[in-house]
């Protein structure tokens, strides 16, 4: 199940694990990324809390935790090569995997059509 937030994160939810990244729209707005800082594996985050930081040639921005949960994996490849986020934001450029505290909370997030309307 693919969901989106109004803060331009996407979540690919499989069971109680959500793979999280920033949307193509967000990557285009930021421009070329030069630095990515990811959360620590094992850390718990509340919905809306800062989970990661990205810096581009234009600006620095926070990536928020879309739902309550625990970080179970991070994508080290984007730390080494931040351009992966620009080239494939909703694929190889994912940020972290989150074990959801309550999977049903995802029901309140945007579906693809609603997100496209938001940014359209």
Q: pLDDT tier at 56 (50, 70, 90 boundaries)?
A: very high
Question: What pLDDT does residue 7 have?
Answer: 95
Q: Where are the domains of the chain?
A: 2-102
Using an 8 Å Cβ cutoff, are 100 and 18 in contact?
yes
Q: Is the pLDDT of residue 58 over 90?
A: no
- Percent of the chain's residues with pLDDT above 70: 100
Fold of 2-102: OB fold (Dihydrolipoamide Acetyltransferase, E2P) (2.40.50)
Give the span between the Cα atoms of 9 and 70, in whole angstroms.
17
Question: What pLDDT does residue 67 have?
Answer: 98
Q: What is the model's pTM?
A: 0.96
Give pLDDT tens digits for 62-96: 999 999 999 999 999 999 999 999 999 999 999 99
């Amino acid at each position: 199940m693919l969901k989106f937030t109004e803060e331009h994160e996407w979540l690919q939810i499989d069971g109680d694990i959500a793979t999280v990244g920033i949307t193509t729209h967000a990557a285009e707005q930021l421009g070329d990324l030069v630095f990515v800082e990811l959360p620590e594996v094992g850390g718990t985050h509340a919905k809306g809390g800062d989970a990661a930081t990205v810096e581009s040639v234009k600006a620095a921005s926070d990536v928020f935790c879309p739902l309550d949960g625990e970080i179970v994996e991070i994508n080290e490849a984007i730390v080494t090569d931040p351009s992966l986020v620009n080239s494939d934001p909703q694929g190889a450029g994912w940020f972290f995997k989150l074990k959801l505290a309550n999977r049903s909370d995802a029901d309140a997030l945007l579906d693809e059509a609603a997100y496209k309307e938001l940014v359209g």
